[in-house]
Amino acid sequence: MGDSEKRPDGLTHVDSRGHANMVDVGEKPATRRRALADAFVTMKAETAALVSSGEAKKGDVIATARIAGIMAAKRTADLIPLCHPLALTHVAIDIAAAETPGRTGVAIEATCETTGPTGVEMEALTAASVAALTIYDMLKAVDRGMTIEVGLRSKEGGASGVWTKEEQQ
């Protein structure tokens, strides 16, 4: 089995000898790719009120987290060892205080797009994660008990087409 072939177990970042390797995408066609990841930072209601009011001591939490998320998407290949550097065509980070049954906090949506031979799922997940970590950093002085959840919601493009979290569940 060549190092660029998919293993029977479906793993693509491990070669036939079990060694980590970067997938060869040189022969794959460039297609439009899009991924959406989300994160939720659960926090006390009083902490979420600081975000909404813009009165956090460290400044504008939402604006800072948005910039951090965009920067992180652009640096994903520097952070995740086997990711390919991508020419992103679009990154959008939406952040808002949110309340759902049983939890209060801040919801983050990170959308990344490119035209290329490989997807942007890791860029979207990295953007959502770093935006969430930035929110935690800016608010930890008032709420160290915050928790972070991150996941991929959807991806489009490439040989596997469209995938959504809802379809999987």
pLDDT in tens, 64-116: 999 999 999 999 999 999 999 999 999 999 999 998 888 999 999 999 999 99
How far is residue 19 from each of residues 13, 23, 24, 105, measured CA to CA in Å?
Answer: 8, 12, 14, 40
- How many degrees, rounded to 5, is the angle at CA 114 between CA 13 and CA 62? 100
Complete domains list, the chain, with CATH: 31-154 (3.30.70.640)
How far is residue 129 from each of residues 11, 21, 69, 116, 149, measured CA to CA in Å?
Answer: 24, 24, 8, 23, 8
The catalytic residue among 15, 24, 94, 137 is 137
pTM to 2 decimals? 0.87
Q: Is 137 a catalytic site residue? A: yes
Segment 5-57, tens digit of pLDDT: 555 566 676 777 777 777 878 778 889 999 999 999 999 999 999 998 888 88
Of 2, 32, 6, whose CA–CA distance to 158 is shortest? 32
